[in-house]
Structure 1
Amino acid sequence: MAVAAAAVMAVGVGSAHAVPPVQGAPTAMSVVSADGAHIVTTLTDATFVPAPVSDALSIVDRHGKIVETVSLAVPLNDQSVPLRAAVSADGSTATLTPVLSESARTEIAAGVRPVSAKKDRAFEQMIWHITNGWNRGGNVATAVGALAGLIVGCIVIVGCVWGAGVGAAIGAVVGINNGDPRAGQAILNWINTP
């Protein structure tokens, strides 16, 4: 729940790259409370104001322009879970608390949960290792595998295109694992993480 709401808060106002923010451009920092019950988002060079649409907050820059509208509800198993928002007096901080209905509490107790942070970390590590392996030779091995598959496919008369596709797939797997030997284990870790 907290991860989904944090993602909602960060979209549109956070910086997703290493370039320093433009002077005066709104930025946001979101943290989850120690007990996991609240998400606290603090804005720089912007403020939270009630949105024209009910059940939302608008983020307004220093010039009064709405730069983002944040919904005060997150989806959980085809249900909308409302978020109670407490905005600081100066509008720079919003504390969001999920308001769980009895049916949502029952589903959570039954084991229906949003994707875990542990699963997210395993996915990020898997993608990092695959990309690292690709950049360290996976792309070359894919090209070599495609060429070898093309030649073998044409000779064996399985089909040149089919042979090239199979060769490229085998080359990619071998090349990525040679480029980053931990890529295969990272994939297994992601699959096996609850």
Structure 2
Amino acid sequence: MNVRHAAIACSVVLLITGCSTVEPNQSATPSAPATTSATAQPGDVAKQRATAAYLGMWNDMADAATTSDWQSPKLAQNATSDALQTISRSLYADHYNGLVTKGRPLNHPRVQTAEPPTDPTSVTIADCGDSTSWLKYRADNGQPADDGPGGRRQIEALVKRAVDGSWKVTTFAVHEVGSCSG
């Protein structure tokens, strides 16, 4: 080791020990963690899980849309009922028409309501989704198939807790481009 490296190493050691807060009478062993940490409330946990399911639905849909795979098992991980049927039908129509989707949607979900408030089983989500970078193309030649550019759209979704405790989107509605108010 040359003198320069030794000087740098010595400086680092001095800096670390000089900044130490251990007093001569205190031990450097960590104390037990404080037990005053806040526990998550059921309502907050439900909102987080519902939002995760909502975002998961869009992610699963974007993955399947790259090949218009209306039968992808991933689609049922975060969607069920009308939501799953809507996604499957849309992807089947794209497959039938020779379309694939490239890119990913951008989502900005906000929880609107959670019912009942103390231990929710149903969460309503509002979103201003952006499809600017999530467009349809012809599978045979790669040419754009959208009539116009994507954009920001108002989306509402209902997410419910299933019997097994998982959260899934049961219905959602996507409005026209330009429908976001913010």
TM-score, normalized by the shorter chain, greater than 0.5: no
What TM-score, normalized by structure 2, do the two folds share?
0.23
Greater relative contact order (Cα 8 A, min sep 6): structure 1 or 2? 2
Work out which of the two has the higher radius of gyration on C-alpha atoms and give 1 or 2. 2
